[in-house]
Amino acid sequence: MAQPPEVRDKAFAKFVLPEVEVLLRVAMTLTAQPADAEDLVQETLLRAYRAIGRFDGEHPRAWLLTIMRRAEINRHRRRTPRLLDDPDADLDRLSSAGVVESPEELVLGESFDAVVGAALAALPDKHKQVVRLVDIGGLSYGEAAQVLDVPEGTVMSRLHRARKRIRTQLVAAGLAPKRRRRT
């Protein structure tokens, strides 16, 4: 039996609306494009509104993140391959924003960003997702585990491996000191 609109609206306001900020933050880490993130959040909210009558009221964030993960999987399946972002265009956009840096900062910043970007791009998708969710998106290990539908320990392990690979690339480029082995 369908719920009256008033009951549905009240449940939606109670369980879903307080989580919108978290949903947007997670969506930004999953999509990397603000417009795509907003579309993903909108799709998640629509699905949540349709299903709110079947929601038991426990763990709304986990419920919503599961909806979002499934919506993103479906969006990804439908999407056609797109070209990689153009780093030159990003640099032009940043330089035209009026940011003035010293030559040292400019060279170090570009080198560092290029090495980190290349190292991140070279990571397997499962490691890249964890870095985007935890290090870039600011999610906790538990929240990232919910988004990815894996145990928290798996998130921690993948993040460790990803950070280690990125650090190795920074060391090889001379942008980070080598770690000393403990004896």
pLDDT of residue 107: 45
The SS3 of residue 166 is helix
The SS3 of residue 135 is helix
What does the block give as tokens for 15?
A: 């369980």
Residue 68 and residue 106 in one domain: no
Q: How confident is the model at residue 113 (pLDDT cuts 50, 70, 90)?
A: confident
Report the 10 Å Cβ neighbour count for 56.
7
Specify if 111 maps to a domain. yes
Least confidently predicted of 28-32, 68-72, 85-89, 154-158: 85-89
Specify if 97 maps to a domain. no
Q: Which residues contact 28 (CB under 8 A, 6 or more apart)?
A: 34, 37, 137
Report pLDDT digits (tens) over 38-79.
999 999 998 988 888 888 888 899 899 889 988 888 877 766
Residue 9 and residue 73 in one domain: yes
Domain limits for position 24: 5-78
Count how many domains the chain has: 2
- Per the prediction, the chain carries an average pLDDT of 80
Report pLDDT digits (tens) over 5-28.
788 888 888 988 999 999 999 998
Q: What is the CATH number of the domain that holds 10?
A: 1.10.1740.10
